[in-house]
Amino acid sequence: MLKVILLVTIIILFQGCATWSGVKQDSKQAWQATKDTTSEAYDGVKKSIHNATE
């Protein structure tokens, strides 16, 4: 019984680590996409304001 509990605990810990790595990678990709999109939006607004004030 003790071996089964230990085995289940180890499996859960390894799954948690794999999940944490996945979450970190996904959040990194999401942050990069947010930065790229924000940068594009900023440039677009800047051009629009420049064109409107010419």
Both tokens of 36, joined, read 């790229």
| Per-residue model confidence as pLDDT tens digits over 6-45 | 988 888 777 766 667 777 888 888 899 898 889 888 988 9
Q: Is the pTM of this model over 0.75?
A: no
Work out the burial of residue 29: count CB atoms within 10 Å of its CB; fewer than 13 is exposed, 13-18 middle, 19 or more buried: exposed
Task: Give me the amino acid identity at 12.
Answer: I
pLDDT at 16: 65
